[in-house]
């Protein structure tokens, strides 16, 4: 870490960095020097294609600086260049590090505490997408291959389910049956993607609520930019629906506590579409709800596949941990499906009023 810290003159005479926050992928630290406090992050090189990520983000951060200066909007915490003028600093093991602006007293939420947070969080994501819409997709490579690809996740699940012992399958019989019976969600998405009617845009791809920072001076900022790459906006909308509407953590074992909170669905839909409304195509508008269903289905498949494979990807603290997570996603999706017509109607009304 020292070799990295020495690359930043603003960190001269720093105090020992302390682990910070509760991210699961990167290593995040708070570092203090006489000039102030900063966030230091080491990008996880086992998860991301580091050279691609460094290229993507150096293009993005330059463009973001221009956009923020031009529009006067602040969208994300600033990233500081090192003494060589670069946004990332490599260490001798090939990992990339970066130094970011820190907001004392800021917070992010695993669960949305009220509709105002859902509205403001989604609105900030919509404003951020307006910026992403200005970027050329060909400048961005894939930092994780096939990151959001529901049809590919389904294929993997169908392959694994054939290979696992009957005894293990019995434990997850109901969940496997649900996954089998709802393949139409992945198929509908695959057909849509095949027609090429959804525009490929630069998108965030990890729009969960805890990737949004609420500062104590009232700003709402987007973080966790490592998965920014070409994709579809319907997945970004979908992951907000998945993470904003649930009132409890995704591994809460009591299934009755998992509810789809329609009020939060309304708030986030309004917030996201207000700034973005006029830039979306008809096909995108019509597919938003499919995006939400697909991402919840995809997440259920990923947890279930990992359970069947012996918990090799997600961190678990007990054997059924991934099975519990599968159940919570299925419950959320079931709730959504019950109210599907109502949700679609609400979406249309929101899009209409947003059009005015
Ligand atoms: P995830 O588990 O969501 O993939 P990650 O390991 O990729 O997380 P981030 O989401 O970038 O890491 O950051 C982890 C946490 O650190 C955030 O949830 C937030 O609480 C905190 N954090 C990150 N950047 C900042 C910042 N600039 N200012 C204050 N806190 C920050
Ligand atoms: Mg995060």
> pLDDT tens-digit profile of 113-163?
999 999 999 999 999 999 999 999 999 999 998 888 899 999 999 999 999
* Residue 210 pLDDT level (bands cut at 50, 70, 90): very high
Per-residue pLDDT at 306: 95
pLDDT of 298 above 80: yes
CATH 3.30.200.20: which residues of the chain? Answer: 2-101
Nearest atom (ligand 1) to Cα of 208 = 3
Nearest atom (ligand 1) to Cα of 226 = 7
- Percent of the chain topping pLDDT 70: 99
Give the closest ligand to the alpha carbon of residue 76: 1
pLDDT of 354 above 80: no
Residue with tokens 């050329």: 136
Element (H, E) at 183: helix 183-195
First CA to last CA distance, the chain: 52
For ligand 1, the distance from its centroid to the CA atom of residue 247, given in whole angstroms, is 21
Q: How far apart are CA 236 and CA 229, in angstroms?
A: 12
Evaluate: CB of 224 within 6 angstroms of ligand 1. yes
**Would you give the DSSP letter of residue 279?**
G
pLDDT of 356 above 70: no
Give the closest ligand to the alpha carbon of residue 108: 1
Residue 149 three-state SS: coil
Residue 74 three-state SS: coil
Q: How far apart are CA 316 and CA 256, in angstroms?
A: 22
For ligand 2, the distance from its centroid to the CA atom of residue 207, given in whole angstroms, is 9
Chain segment 8-24, per-residue pLDDT in tens: 999 998 888 999 988 88
- Percent of the chain topping pLDDT 90: 86
Q: At what angle do helices 282-308 and 183-195 cross, to 10 degrees?
A: 140
**Would you give the DSSP letter of residue 286?**
H
Mean pLDDT of 326-339: 96
pLDDT of 3 above 60: yes
Chain segment 273-289, per-residue pLDDT in tens: 999 989 999 999 999 99
Evaluate: CB of 28 within 6 angstroms of ligand 1. yes
Per-residue pLDDT at 270: 96
The average confidence (pLDDT) of the chain is 94
Token pair of 309 as six digits: 């494979």
Per-residue pLDDT at 168: 93
CATH 3.90.1200.10: which residues of the chain? Answer: 115-355
Residue 355 three-state SS: helix
Per-residue pLDDT at 355: 54
Chain segment 218-259, per-residue pLDDT in tens: 999 999 999 999 999 999 999 999 999 999 999 999 998 989
Per-residue pLDDT at 22: 82
For ligand 2, the distance from its centroid to the CA atom of residue 282, given in whole angstroms, is 31
Chain segment 72-101, per-residue pLDDT in tens: 999 999 999 999 999 999 999 999 999 999
Q: What is the pTM of this model?
A: 0.94
Handedness of CA 165, 167, 168, 169 (dihedral sign): positive
From residue 251, how far is each of 65, 79, 133, 145, 319 by CA, in Å? Answer: 38, 33, 34, 26, 13
Residue 340 three-state SS: helix
Evaluate: CB of 100 within 6 angstroms of ligand 1. yes
**Would you give the DSSP letter of residue 224?**
-
CATH architecture type of domain 115-355? Alpha-Beta Complex (3.90)
Per-residue pLDDT at 352: 84
CATH architecture type of domain 2-101? 2-Layer Sandwich (3.30)
Nearest atom (ligand 1) to Cα of 27 = 6
Q: Which residues lie across from 38 on neighbouring strands?
A: 31, 101
Closest CA to ligand 1's atom 5: 23
Closest CA to ligand 1's atom 28: 102
């Amino acid at each position: 870490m020292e070799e990295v810290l020495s690359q930043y003159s603003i960190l001269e005479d720093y105090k020992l960095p302390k682990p910070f926050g509760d991210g699961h992928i990167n290593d995040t630290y708070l570092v203090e020097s006489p000039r102030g406090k900063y966030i230091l992050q080491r990008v996880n090189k086992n998860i991301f294609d580091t050279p691609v990520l460094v290229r993507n983000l150096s293009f993005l951060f330059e463009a973001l600086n221009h956009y923020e200066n031009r529009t006067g909007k602040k969208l994300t915490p600033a990233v500081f260049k090192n003494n060589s003028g670069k946004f990332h600093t490599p260490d001798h093991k090939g990992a990339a590090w970066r130094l970011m602006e820190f907001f004392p007293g800021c917070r992010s939420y695993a669960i949305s505490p009220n509709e105002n947070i859902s509205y403001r969080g989604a609105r900030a994501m919509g404003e951020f997408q307006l910026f992403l819409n200005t970027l050329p997709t060909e400048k961005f490579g894939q930092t994780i291959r096939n990151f959001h690809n529901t049809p590919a996740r389904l294929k993997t699940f169908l392959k694994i389910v054939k290979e696992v012992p009957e005894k293990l399958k019995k434990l997850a019989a109901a969940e496997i049956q649900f996954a089998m019976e709802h393949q139409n969600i992945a198929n509908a998405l695959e057909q849509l993607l095949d027609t090429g009617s959804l525009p490929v845009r630069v998108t965030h791809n990890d729009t969960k609520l805890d990737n949004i920072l609420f500062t104590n001076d009232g700003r709402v900022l987007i973080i966790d930019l490592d998965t920014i790459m070409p994709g579809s906006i319907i997945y970004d909308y979908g992951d907000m629906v998945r993470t904003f509407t649930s009132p409890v953590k995704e591994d809460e074992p009591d299934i009755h506590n998992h509810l789809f909170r329609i009020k939060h669905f309304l708030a986030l839909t309004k917030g996201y579409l207000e700034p973005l409304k006029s830039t979306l195509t008809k096909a995108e508008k019509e597919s938003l709800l499919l995006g939400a269903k697909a991402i919840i289905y995809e997440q259920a498949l990923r947890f279930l596949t990992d359970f069947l494979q012996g918990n090799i990807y997600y961190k678990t603290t007990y054997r059924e941990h991934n099975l519990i997570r599968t159940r919570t996603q299925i419950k959320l999706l079931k709730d959504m499906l019950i109210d599907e017509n109502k949700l679609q109607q609400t979406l249309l009304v929101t899009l209409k009023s947003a059009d005015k």
